[in-house]
Structure 1
């Protein structure tokens, strides 16, 4: 009879990731994680509410839903349930890039179609997980970089419209709004320069607070009171835009994006596993993370948000503090749910002036564009193949931005595909990368990775995405 092994398993109670902390330590550590990530759900919700013309009360309800879903997703990723969640200290956020695509689809096809697109994208993510290893190879850094850069550029355009307002509306491009947005950006930059540690990670949120204070004290803006001033809980509204409308062509931007997230999830999972000292096993853990993302995204679609994604933002806190326990992020999930249901918080936040939101959004999505540039910098773009892939992908993606009427004479399905810079650029990058790789493989028998500048490494050694 073989003696039982005494070696601890990855999920053993002896593992640091499974350490249970006393409440007096758990509470402040969990609050620290909330402070580090709360700016993302708040700012993306404001951006969505302003872009879609929601009332202050509607924005407050959407913010409540977003925070509750962030908390539920964080709990699911941290604690795990069956095959959902990798039991790692992850937090979940509304994806900034996904929000950009959601808003654009809502503007082009209506919010009900955008909601249906979220549900279709979540279903696609579930469907492709059995083929994870093959799908993730379609999105090496050169493709991901081009996609993220184009999303950042597209979203900067949307954020600018929050500052100026809609063309033809009263007060369009008012100097006071531009000045207020600029003051918000300046305050955010100042906080980024002078703050350190966990406080620096809240610079966007603090910048929004400073911008609101400037608006109130100088008369450059005013709060938009949310309806229902009572102190009871704020409850998210089911299907706030009506019954979902399913249009596969209109959903294409989010469908493509949902596939690209597999590459990012791989990198984040490897990085988080290494941070907590757990053996990395992407084949096991990445599908669990993706399933949790897809499940929470389904509820996100039902309650009016875009795709929800697991974030790497808080991994740095684990490295900084040395605390590896997944129960700390689980505590953060509980706090997020509580804050999401607290009416005064969501109603006050939902009343922030639009130029303040737009100024903060310009900072956030400018950073997303820089992330895309950083990812492209990893791909040896000086090579002939890499330069061509990047150049043509960006050209395909920027054409609908600089020449919006370029495809107006094409059939509807072609306008939907080619008229979205993100979809056109991503598809161009995927196809060109595959062609250069196949050509290089046929020429020298190699995999062609270096020739195109960004061949996909084996799954176990995938580079973490920002």
Structure 2
């Protein structure tokens, strides 16, 4: 009689004993905690929130990140939510930048309403994923990233100007940490820089103002009052929501390869985006920006060779506990404004550099691509260098063209499509199967969007 053997468990579905699970979850927590902390503090400082409101916003952001990690790692199969891969969910730097831009121009209640609209919009367009992804080739994505970084440097710089000495000291501390740290610790350079800058502030006589309260508390919903819905003001976030589908496609392939599971973007990307959208509905309720799934922790997966999605699920639980532990959020909320501004400058400058790096990989030697980038940058930078030029336009046009990120991204999408269809012929790029001389179709170009399942 032949004994039946149990089917082998895939590494991504492996359960780990607690003695291994806990330290690995802490590693993933360290890889992901800098983004929610720095973004929440930046939002609170830019919007001049009180210490108590800042602590509540930090709490909400950490809790939402934890819920997002659970949604992506564990998933809800019946609802087709979550990819069941070791993902974290974090506030996207670009999403935070756009949220703050809307909040500064139209008020934080409108920014919260824009988050809710963008999340609902993302849920509605998911059935058309395969078609929409074609609107955001790398050329468009890289131009938008450059504009986001530059726009937010302008927003963050006045925060450093409120205390230049402390701000530049913080920049020096962050640079030092980037220089000396390695591995997962290097990902904490900005967070450690916030701590170092705060220490410098205390040593130079600046006393942090901390809120008071109990040990555990739930974050406050609708911190800016009832959300205000303005479709035109929401355009930048709607564009970002669409662009996030392209980013999720790359993240899915990267994560699947890291855990040894065949990549299936047509199946997984809509599930990832659905989880992003549902958690982002919570972001709109609790006053923070859109949440996006991140592969920041993939380096840890490759370093440890532990591919289990239950490690990031445990990291999600830890994020929720940290968010509800109010002494921690109150301490973080007390960081001085120039320190936060310096950290923000680094974050957004890095975003701009990433965009330039993406542009360097585009085929700018081809005339059409160079013109598309140049014209899109002109449209996106004009509101920064000459904001008064749109003063005489109708209000809807001022909203649309006065936002450098939205105007530049829309210009890049439209120009890219027009030049692709009507511009001069390019060298063959294999955007569709091409017959070879032997009559056998050539393979499709890498990055061609997969069919929707």
1:38 alignment partner, SS class: helix
**Counterpart for residue 224 of structure 1:** 209
Secondary structure, in 3 states, of the residue corresponding to 2:135?
coil
Distance 2:428 2:397 in 1: 36
1:217-296 equivalence runs, <5 A = 217-219=203-205, 221-226=206-211, 228-230=212-214, 232-296=215-279
Of 317-326 and 410-419, deviating more is 317-326
Q: Which residue number corresponds to residue 52 of structure 2?
A: 57
Residue number in structure 1 paired with 2:360: 377
Distance 1:317 1:395 in 2: 40
Question: Does residue 1:337 correspond to 2:320, yes or no?
Answer: yes
Asked if residue 127 in structure 1 is aligned to residue 124 in structure 2, the reply is: yes
The equivalent residue for 1:308 is: 291
What does residue 373 of structure 2 align with? 390
Contact 1:438 1:448 in 2 (8 A): no
Deviations, residues 91-113 of structure 1 (Å, cap 9, x unaligned): 01111111111111111111111
| Compared CA separation, residues 444 and 94, structure 1 to 2 (3 A) | closer
Among candidates 87, 93, 109, match of residue 106 of structure 2: 109
* TM-score normalized by the length of structure 1: 0.90
Aligned: 1:32 with 2:32: no
1:193 aligns with 2:188: no
Aligned equivalents of 2:317, 2:20: Cα separation in 1: 15
SS at 1:379 equivalent = coil
**TM-score, with length taken from structure 2:** 0.92
Asked if 2 retains the 8 angstrom alpha-carbon contact of 1:440 and 1:447, the reply is: no
Q: Is the 8 A contact 1:140 1:456 kept in 2?
A: no
Which residue pairs with 1:457 in the alignment? 447
Task: Decide whether the 8 Å contact of 1:115 with 1:301 is kept in 2.
Answer: yes
Residue among 189, 193, 202 paired with 1:207 = 193
Aligned residues: 433
Deviation at 1:198, TM superposition (A): 1.5
* Displacement after TM superposition at 1:380 (Å): 1.3
Say if 1:280 and 1:460, in contact at 8 Å, map to a contact too: no
CA distance in 2, matches of 1:138, 1:50: 35
The question of 1:413 aligning with 2:379 is answered no
Q: Provide the residue aligned with 1:91 in structure 2.
A: 88
C-alpha contact (below 8 Å) 2:431/2:448 kept by paired residues: no
Spell out, residue by residue over 1:106-156, the C-alpha distance to the aligned partner (whole angstroms, 9 max, x if none).
Answer: 111111111110000001101111000110110011000000110011111
Give distance in 2, aligned partners of 1:7 and 1:130.
Answer: 37
- Report matched runs for 1:439-458 at 5 Å: 439=422, 457-458=447-448
1:21 paired with 2:21, answer: no
Q: In structure 1, how many angstroms separate the alpha carbons of the residues matched to 2:89 and 2:399?
A: 30
Structure 2 CA distance, aligned partners of 1:291 and 1:190?
39
- Alignment equivalent of 1:319, drawn from 302, 305, 313: 302
Q: Note if contact 1:440-1:446 (Cα within 8 Å) is conserved in structure 2.
A: no
What CA distance in whole angstroms lies between the structure 2 residues aligned with 1:7 and 1:414? 64
Deviation at 1:444, TM superposition (A): 7.7
How far off is 1:440 after superposition?
Answer: 5.0
Q: Does the alignment pair 1:351 with 2:334?
A: yes
In structure 2, relative to structure 1, the CA distance for the partners of 1:444 and 1:162 (3 Å cut) is closer
Please say if 1:179 is aligned against 2:169. Answer: no
Task: Check 1:366–1:449 CA distance in 2 against 1; reply closer, same or farther (3 A cut).
Answer: farther
**Aligned position for 2:154:** 157
Decide whether aligned partners of structure 1 residues 401 and 449 sit closer, same or farther in structure 2, where only a CA change above 3 A counts: farther
Corresponding residue SS for 2:334: coil
Q: Structure 1: which 4+ aligned runs deviate by more than 4 Å?
A: 443-450
Aligned partners of 2:354, 2:431: CA distance in 1, in Å? 22
User: 53-62 vs 103-112, which deviates more?
Assistant: 103-112
Coordinate RMSD, CA, aligned: 1.9
Q: Does 1:68 align with 2:63?
A: yes
Q: Distance in 1 between matches of 2:155 and 2:355?
A: 18
Distance, in Å, in 2 between the alignment partners of 1:133 and 1:48 is 34
Unpaired runs of 5+ in structure 1? Answer: 1-5, 165-172, 462-466
Task: After superposing the two structures, state which structure 1 stretch, 155-164 or 48-57, moved more.
Answer: 155-164
Q: Deviations over 1:346-393 (max 9, x none)?
A: 000000101111111111111111111111122111210110011011
SS in 2 for 1:352: coil
Q: Equivalent residue for 1:3?
A: none
